[in-house]
Structure 1
Amino acid sequence: MHYAELAKAREELTGPGGTFEIVHTDVNGIAIRAYRHALPDVRALWQSTLPFADRTYLIYRDERLTYAQAHARVDAIAAWLAARGIKPGDRVAIAMRNYPEWLLIYWACVCSGIAVVGMNAWGTAEEMAYALADSAPKALFLDAERLDRYKEIAEPLPGVTLVGVRLRGPESDVMSFADVIAHRGAMPEVVIDADADACIFYTSGATGFPKGAQLTHRGCITNLFNMLYAGASTALATQRATGVAPPAAPPAPVSLLTTPLFHVTANNCGAYATTAAGGTIVLMYRWDAGEALRIIAQERVTSIGGVPVMARELINHPDFATTDLSSLTALSGGGAQVPPDLVHKIEEKVVSARPSTGYGMTETCGIITSVAGDFFVDKPDSAGPAMPAYEAKCVDEEGNTVPPGETGELWVKGAAVIKGYINRPEATAAAITDGWLHTGDIARIDEDGFIFIVDRKKDMVLRGGENVYCAEVEAAIYRHSAIAECCVFGVPDHRLGEEVGAAIVLKPGEVLDDAELRGFCEGHIANYKVPRHIWFMTDSLPRNASGKFLKRELRDRLCQDRPAA
């Protein structure tokens, strides 16, 4: 394999004078690795796309927007925000599906120094209320479904301006998005601090409440450069090893985004990379493998990314063999580990595309590692090497670095690590030590620098790319008056990787069934967090000497008795 060539490519690209030259910079008293040639902020990224005016930028169903049209609308939104007195350092929330407006509002805010609060569109009214109270946005852009949910909130946030996107009709006290873009006007001139918040994305909370991760302009731009570096280093190493040169002027990418824009996978990775290249972003109303195949053929999509189950569903779809997929050059999986068999299936069945993946977190504004092509095929159970803007190490329980090749919790440090969690100094201190982010994943690093994720330290279920903290689900279940004990854990699932399972002990004399418990949970947590597998136990749940539930032992025994679908 080409590992020597990859090491040489890395040294050349990141060394003095290299395109991705790495330097050390000081952020809040901590020396971190960063790219010398990185753009100063996200505003600069968006403005760099002005020369692409005539290219198609966004496609949604039969709607198309050029870069020129997108810039005009982004400017109008930004001017409207300024006219409302919303200024740099303030926050604006977006709660909607992957409509084109999502990205237009996003660029308008970050270019104005306003932080975007990406609301989880799958959340309940209760979760929406918490995030709004926690982040205190000055405006909330929401679609019809999220407006219905907002109306369920007992005490709506005072002073927030509501803007409706694609509503069913006029709504009192809700401004129309059409009126916003009719405002017209120019983008306000602002100076943006690289370490100011660009966006706040909520992650599931281990204590029952989600945490608002602060993604900075520096972090978001660093993630973009990490992705550009990943492609450049792999291409250079492969070219030198094989002698096959890539096309001199590859066409602008056409990317099908399949995951929600309130996540770093679609937003910071998919949208940023395609936008920077002057490419086209295609959006879907909801994921459907058959519809995705049709779109790939019709729009000549070059790349599609999503959680691994999406790639598997594409390959297994009845229309796969008869669909023209010759435009595809990359089929990637992220948000969950790609099973090795799927890596080989992509390599064998999608003739023009190579498999790729990235491992990352909301807390790193996107990817930590990346691997593609020959390297992924050779090491299909690897997440790839850490990007050069990171230092990476595996540590023991005391935070000491373990010897090379041994397992430990993966810690990373670099320009893409978040500033912290808003209003949660204790959570920030627990997650970041002297700039080192504790990923919560148990890993080992091999002799080539490739990282292998082998276990999870966090008490978490990874369901189709969505993090579900067991404690959060347990907190919701315990709100039911009939519950004496509950223990939540991950259940292996062929399609989603893991599903949520729960072992329940009822109080004496109480009666409850699966459907009633799920219905109760749906009022407090998002649907994807609601347990699919429920066991009602007659005896107390097993505990260790300190009184903690023996979760792994319980999970293994119950899953053996009732295999997952």
Structure 2
Amino acid sequence: MHYAELLKAREELTGPGGAFEIIEADILGNRIRTYKNAPPSVREVWLSTLQFADRPYLVYQDERLTYGEAHEIANSTANWLLAQGVKPGDRVAIAMRNYPEWMLIYWACLAVGITVVGMNAWWTAEEMDYGLSDSAPKVLFLDAERLARVQEKPDMVKGMQLVGVRIPDMPAGLIDWSVVAAHGGALPEVTVDPDSDACIFYTSGTTGFPKGAQLTHRGCVSNLFNMLFAGASSALAVERATGVSPPAEPPIPVTLITTPLFHVTANNCGAYATTAAGGKLVLMYRWEAGEALRIIEKERVSSMSGVPVMARELINHPDFEKTDTSSLLALAGGGAQVPPDLVLKIEKQVATARPSTGYGMTETCGIITSVSGDFFVDKPDSAGPAMPSFEAKCVDDNGKTVGPGEVGELWVRGSSVIKGYINRPEATAASITDGWLHTGDVARIDEDGFIFIVDRKKDMVLRGGENIYCAEVESSIYRHNGVAECCVFGVPDDRLGEEVGVAVVAKPGEALSAEAVREHCAAIMAKHKVPRYIWMLDEPLPRNASGKFLKRELRDKLTPKVSA
């Protein structure tokens, strides 16, 4: 394999004078690695796409917008927000499906230093109430489904201006999106601080409440450079090793966005890289493999990135062989580890596409590692090497670095690490030490610098790329008066990787059923967090000497009885 060439390519590209030259800088109190040539903020990234004015940009069903039209609407949106008294540093929330308006509002806000709060569209009214209270946005853009949640608890939007997007019968008190889009005006001149908050994305909380991660402009731009670097270094290494040069004019990317834009997988990785290259972003109402195949053929999609199960469903779909997928160059998986068998299936079954993946977190504004093509096929159980803006190390339980190839918790430090969590100084302090982010994943780093994720330190379920913290689900279940004890854990699932399972012990005299627990959960938490598997037990749950539930023992005892 071409590992020596890859190392040399990485050194050349990141060294003095290289396109991805890395320097060290004092940022937010820590000396960290960052890109010398990166633009200072997302504003500059967005403005750079004006050169693509006539190219198609956003496609949704039968709707199409060019870059020029997108800039015009984004400029209108920015001016409208400033006219309402929203200032740089203030927050604006987006709560909707992956409609074109999501991206237009996002670029408009970041271009003038306003912080976007990406609201999880799966949240219940109660969870939405918490997110709005925690982030305190001045304006909320929402679609019909999210409006229905607001109407369940109207007090959650007290003091906010509401803009309705794609709502047929606009109720009183809401401003129609068409008013915002037609406001007009050129983009105001604003200098955006690289270390100010670009957006707040929520991660599941270990204490029952989600945490609002502060993604900075520098972090988002660094992630874009990491993604560009991943492609450039891999291509250069393969060219050196094989003598086969890439095309002089790289094809204009066409990316199918399959996961929610309130996550870094779709937004910071899919949307940023494609937008910066002047490519076309194709949005879906919801994921459905057959519909994805139809879109790939119609729009000549060159890359599709989602959680690994989506690639599996695509190549296993009965229409796959009948569909023209010859435009596909990359079939990527993120948000969860790509099973090695799927890497090899993509390589074998999709004639034109190569497998790729990125391992990352909300807390790193996107990817930490990236691997694709020959390197991924050679090491299909690897997540790839760390990107140049990161230092990476594996540590033991005392925070001491372990030896090469030894297993420990992966810590990373670099310009893409978040500033912290809003309103949660204790959570920030627990997660970040001297700029080093504790990923919560147990890993080893091999002699080629490739990182292998071997286990999870955090107590969570990874369901289809969504992090679900066991403690969050447990705290919600305990709100049922009939529950004495409960313990949540992950149940292996062929399609989604894991599903949520829970063992429940009812209080004496309570006639509590699994269905009652499920109904209770469905009323107060997002659908994907509701346990699929519920075991009602008569005996107290097993504990260790310090009183903690023996989660692994419970899982091993109960899950063999599961049939999907």
Q: Which structure 2 segments of 5+ residues have no match?
A: none
Deviations 1:245-282 (A, max 9, x none): 11110221000000000000000000000000000000
Deviations 1:80-126 (A, max 9, x none): 00100101010000000000000000000000100000000000000
- Counterparts of 1:300-319 in structure 2, within 5 Å, are 300-319=300-319
Q: Name the CA distance, whole Å, in 2 between partners of 1:190 and 1:379.
A: 46
Give the partner amino acid of 2:147.
L
Q: Could you say which residue in structure 1 is the equivalent of 2:150?
A: 150
Q: Name the CA distance, whole Å, in 2 between partners of 1:201 and 1:302.
A: 28
CA contact (8 A) 2:120 2:262 kept: yes
Q: Could you say which residue in structure 1 is the equivalent of 2:30?
A: 30
Give the partner amino acid of 2:267.
N
Q: Could you say which residue in structure 1 is the equivalent of 2:99?
A: 99
Q: Could you say which residue in structure 2 is the equivalent of 1:455?
A: 455
Deviations 1:445-480 (A, max 9, x none): 000000000000000000000000000000010000
Deviations 1:496-544 (A, max 9, x none): 0000000000011111222221111111110100000010111000000
Q: Name the CA distance, whole Å, in 1 between partners of 2:557 and 2:303.
A: 41
CA contact (8 A) 1:491 1:564 kept: no
Q: Name the CA distance, whole Å, in 1 between partners of 2:313 and 2:170.
A: 39
Q: Could you say which residue in structure 2 is the equivalent of 1:117?
A: 117
Percent sequence identity over matched residues?
A: 73
TM-score, normalisation: structure 2: 0.99
Q: Secondary structure at the match of 2:516?
A: helix
> Which deviates the most, 434-443 or 28-37?
28-37
Give the partner amino acid of 1:74.
A
Q: Could you say which residue in structure 2 is the equivalent of 1:78?
A: 78
CA contact (8 A) 1:58 1:281 kept: yes
CA contact (8 A) 1:308 1:338 kept: yes
Q: Secondary structure at the match of 2:156?
A: coil
Deviations 1:365-422 (A, max 9, x none): 0000000000000000000000010000000000000001000000000000000000
Q: Name the CA distance, whole Å, in 2 between partners of 1:268 and 1:56.
A: 20
Q: Name the CA distance, whole Å, in 1 between partners of 2:469 and 2:29.
A: 32
Deviations 1:295-340 (A, max 9, x none): 0000000000000000000011000011000000000000000000
Q: Name the CA distance, whole Å, in 2 between partners of 1:185 and 1:564.
A: 59
Q: Name the CA distance, whole Å, in 2 between partners of 1:526 and 1:409.
A: 29
Give the partner amino acid of 1:307.
V
> Which deviates the most, 140-149 or 519-528?
519-528
Supply the RMSD in Å over aligned alpha carbons: 0.7
Q: Could you say which residue in structure 2 is the equivalent of 1:69?
A: 69
Q: Name the CA distance, whole Å, in 1 between partners of 2:40 and 2:309.
A: 36
Give the partner amino acid of 1:563.
V
Q: Name the CA distance, whole Å, in 2 between partners of 1:229 and 1:493.
A: 34
Q: Secondary structure at the match of 1:263?
A: coil
Q: Secondary structure at the match of 2:272?
A: helix
Relative to structure 1, is the Cα distance of residues 388 and 75 closer, same or farther in structure 2, using a 3 angstrom cutoff? Answer: same
Deviations 1:403-443 (A, max 9, x none): 01000000000000000000000000000000000000000
Q: Could you say which residue in structure 1 is the equivalent of 2:3?
A: 3
1:564 Cα deviation after fit: 4.4
CA contact (8 A) 1:58 1:65 kept: yes
CA contact (8 A) 1:521 1:530 kept: yes
Q: Name the CA distance, whole Å, in 2 between partners of 1:382 and 1:545.
A: 37
Q: Could you say which residue in structure 1 is the equivalent of 2:251?
A: 251
Q: Could you say which residue in structure 1 is the equivalent of 2:197?
A: 197
Q: Could you say which residue in structure 2 is the equivalent of 1:563?
A: 562
Q: Secondary structure at the match of 1:534?
A: strand
- Counterparts of 1:277-292 in structure 2, within 5 Å, are 277-292=277-292
Give the partner amino acid of 1:398.
N
Q: Could you say which residue in structure 1 is the equivalent of 2:405?
A: 405
1:363 aligns with 2:363: yes
Q: Which structure 1 segments of 5+ residues have no match?
A: none
Q: Could you say which residue in structure 2 is the equivalent of 1:130?
A: 130
CA contact (8 A) 2:395 2:408 kept: yes
Q: Could you say which residue in structure 1 is the equivalent of 2:529?
A: 529
Q: Name the CA distance, whole Å, in 2 between partners of 1:480 and 1:144.
A: 30
1:29 Cα deviation after fit: 2.2
Q: Name the CA distance, whole Å, in 2 between partners of 1:564 and 1:279.
A: 43
1:151 Cα deviation after fit: 1.1
Deviations 1:215-260 (A, max 9, x none): 0000000000000000000000011111111111022100000000
Q: Could you say which residue in structure 2 is the equivalent of 1:507?
A: 507
Deviations 1:26-65 (A, max 9, x none): 1122100001100110000000000100000000000000
- Counterparts of 1:272-421 in structure 2, within 5 Å, are 272-421=272-421
Q: Name the CA distance, whole Å, in 2 between partners of 1:516 and 1:191.
A: 54
Q: Could you say which residue in structure 1 is the equivalent of 2:444?
A: 444
CA contact (8 A) 2:150 2:157 kept: no
1:154 Cα deviation after fit: 5.3
CA contact (8 A) 2:90 2:138 kept: yes
The count of corresponding residues between Structure 1 and Structure 2 is 564
CA contact (8 A) 1:485 1:505 kept: yes
Relative to structure 1, is the Cα distance of residues 234 and 551 closer, same or farther in structure 2, using a 3 angstrom cutoff? Answer: same
Deviations 1:126-171 (A, max 9, x none): 0000010000000000000000001111522321000000002121
Q: Name the CA distance, whole Å, in 1 between partners of 2:173 and 2:122.
A: 24
Give the partner amino acid of 2:440.
G
Q: Could you say which residue in structure 2 is the equivalent of 1:549?
A: 549
Q: Which runs of 4+ in 1 moved over 6 A?
A: none
Q: Name the CA distance, whole Å, in 2 between partners of 1:409 and 1:270.
A: 27
Q: Secondary structure at the match of 1:97?
A: coil
CA contact (8 A) 2:293 2:314 kept: yes
Q: Name the CA distance, whole Å, in 1 between partners of 2:433 and 2:409.
A: 13
Give the partner amino acid of 2:529.
K
Relative to structure 1, is the Cα distance of residues 210 and 156 closer, same or farther in structure 2, using a 3 angstrom cutoff? Answer: same
